[in-house]
Amino acid sequence: MGQVAIVTGGTRGIGSAISKGLKEAGYTVAATYAGNVEKAEAFSAETGINVFKWDVSDPEACEKGVQQVSEELGDIEVLVNNAGITRDGWFHKMTYDDWSAVLRTNLDSMFTMTKPVIESMRARSSGRIINISSINGQKGQMGQTNYSAAKAGVIGFTKALAQETARKGVTVNCICPGYIDTDMVAAVPEKVLEGIIGQIPVGRLGKAEEIAGLVRYLTSPEAAFMTGAVLTINGAQYIANG
């Protein structure tokens, strides 16, 4: 049995590609999901990847879930905080419930998922934490004040925690994908999608496997000196200032 990696939201979209990529790299992967049991079980049957159901915004569920993974699979070496939701809408029409749901799942989960693994990683002087933010956490996006705020918070969380854990051998990095060819993006109306692609200088959507490849690099020995980094992968749609 290889080293253990948890990927939240790991059965669909970008998370699915990350889970598969880490399995190919030799990790024993635990992919979490919150909703569709049938699809998650089909993913597990197809890939042989272990799946676990819990809500990443629920601190108690995360504690219990991480404990279950540790008991069944072993010490957790890699945590990929990927799970996220959207509740888009103009801010002046946005409800508190839509604001809060996105902040809990996309930002509070940085705490609820990382807290249960951090002490073990520090004690072993070994661990990789990879947080998935977004291009819209860097530049903002109309109709996504909740999502943009949460994903910007992920970047700040990454930079601060990286400094706290650097001497303990635990790296913390952040990936900011642009628009990626997933089911969620494919559901966008055709003309809207054409407009999005028109804003991407390379002329196409990104591939989930390209995000997974970057995750694999961040878990590799070659990335041991990289921590606190915010890595932009968006086809030059937005050039970050560092």
Give catalytic residues, as residue numbers: 147
Strands 4-7 and 50-53: unpaired
- Residue 68, token pair as written in the block: 């279950």
Helices (H), the chain: 13-24, 37-47, 59-73, 96-103, 109-124, 135-139, 145-165, 183-186, 190-198, 208-219
Rounded Cα–Cα distance for residues 124 and 119 (Å): 9
Q: Which of 86, 159, 75, 155 is nearest to 122 (CA)?
A: 75
Q: Which of 8, 13, 19, 100 is nearest to 56 (CA)?
A: 8
